[in-house]
Amino acid sequence: MAITKTEDRIPARMPHEVYERIAEAAKTVGATLNQFIVQSALEKANDIIERERTIHLSTRAAKAVFDLLENPPQPTMQLKKALQQRKKLLCLK
C-alpha cells in the first residue's frame, strides 16, 4: 500500500531580527510560529493571485467592452486571411 504525502516543508532562513519579529507577532495572536508563517504566506498568496486574476476597468471601459461583446464589428479582410491561414496550419475542415 502506497503512503501519500499530505504535507510539504518550506525551509526558510532569515536574519535573527526578522525571526524575532515574526515570533513576537505569532505569540501576540496566539499562534505557533509555523501556524503564523503558513497563514500569513497563504493570505499574501491569495491576495496576489486575486489581484492578478482580476481586471479592473473604469465604467467607460467596461461599457465599451460590453458594447463590443453585444455588437461585434464585422471581420476585416486581415482577420479573414488570418483565420484562413490558421485553418490551413491546423488542417481544419
CA distance 42 to 53: 16
| Residue-level pLDDT at 61 | 96
Residue stretches of the chain with pLDDT short of 50: none
| Residue-level pLDDT at 92 | 65
| Residue-level pLDDT at 5 | 75
Phi-psi region of 8 (alpha: psi -120 to 50; beta: other; left: phi over 0): beta
Is 65:57 a contact under the CB 8 Å cutoff?
A: yes
| Residue-level pLDDT at 91 | 81
| Residue-level pLDDT at 4 | 76
| Residue-level pLDDT at 93 | 61
Q: Dig out the grid coordinates for 6 from the structure.
A: 499530505
Instruction: Single out the residue of 13, 34, 10 nearest to residue 23, CA to CA.
Output: 34
